[in-house]
Amino acid sequence: MPTPKKNIANSYSLRWLLLLFLFLHPGNSLRAQLSLDNLDYDRIPQKKIIHFIEQQKKCGRKHFSDFEPKCFMEQDSARYSKVSTSYIIRGKTDEVWNEYLRIQPNEAYSGRIVGFGFLYSKDEDKISYKGDRFEKMKVGQLFFFNVRLLGGIRNLGIADEVTAIDDDLKIIRFCYIENGKTEGTQEIQLKNTAEGYTEITHDTWYKSKSRFRDNMLYPFFHKRSVNEYHHIIRARIEDGEPMMSKN
């Protein structure tokens, strides 16, 4: 029969093993959180994205887990503006939906206006750069972009977080990250058409600290960047070469 001292020692050992398991288990919130200092700036070609990260550090953010989305608030809707666009893609809705979820970020954001910088996944606590393996879009992913304005005379570093993906209703929802130029929500929804094609609607609710920016600048540049994104996907579908996951 074990002595009391051995019982106490065994009890402490079990506690330490339990704490170690909770800390290392992938699904547990106690695991180490990735620091912003872990970013490899040499793999991010856009200076404004680096500047965006440095500004976030000045605001007190040390880890990627510190980033919070600033979404559209229904109870505060009078303070938001709205931009809506719609598109038709000649493809079946399931096929188009799969493309939106699985297209590589560096290909989806490869136009003249929006350039992909890097991706952070909250679920995996992992950074992905251009060229890294990307399986599919998931809730909790943060996309960091560079937006070229006026032909590149001015550039902006921005970040969105994927806050909802509804496979049944075919809805993807993004929110701007706190402490950026803009806050609000973007929502993409896919629907079947009578012709057997897919209709995409892209609604954006947004606000900033500048009425001039909200009324004059944002709608113009936002529509151009949104058009670019959807046209890239439409071309891939209608050219018959959608990007498929290599699972």
Helix (H) or strand (E) holding 212: helix 211-212
154-189 pLDDT tens trace: 899 999 999 999 999 999 999 999 888 899 999 999
105: nearest Cα among 91, 117, 121, 122: 117
d(CA 130, CA 144) in angstroms, rounded, equals 11
DSSP state of 150: G
Q: Can you read off the two tokens belonging to residue 64?
A: 């990627």
d(CA 176, CA 185) in angstroms, rounded, equals 7
d(CA 57, CA 3) in angstroms, rounded, equals 54
Per the domain annotation, does 201 fall within a domain? yes
Amino acid identity of 2?
P
For residue 20, is pLDDT > 70?
Answer: no
Helix (H) or strand (E) holding 119: strand 114-121
The CA angle 112-209-46, to the nearest 5 degrees, is: 30
Per the domain annotation, does 211 fall within a domain? yes
In this structure, what CATH number is given to the domain that contains residue 85? 3.30.530.20
Amino acid identity of 116?
F
Per the domain annotation, does 25 fall within a domain? no
Per the domain annotation, does 13 fall within a domain? no
Query: Do the bridges between strand 183-192 and strand 198-207 make them parallel or antiparallel, or are there none, so unpaired?
Result: antiparallel
131-160 pLDDT tens trace: 999 999 999 999 999 999 888 788 999 999
Q: Can you read off the two tokens belonging to residue 209?
A: 């600290």
Query: Mean pLDDT, the chain, as a whole number?
Result: 87
For residue 3, is pLDDT > 60?
Answer: no
Per the domain annotation, does 23 fall within a domain? no
135 by DSSP, 3-state: which? coil
Cβ-contact 222, 207 below 8 angstroms: no
d(CA 59, CA 75) in angstroms, rounded, equals 27
Per the domain annotation, does 123 fall within a domain? yes
Can you give the pLDDT at residue 7?
53
Per the domain annotation, does 100 fall within a domain? yes
Please state the domain count of the chain.
1
Can you give the pLDDT at residue 16?
57
Can you give the pLDDT at residue 74?
87
Give the pLDDT mean for 15-25: 50
Per the domain annotation, does 99 fall within a domain? yes
Q: Which domain holds residue 89?
A: 37-238
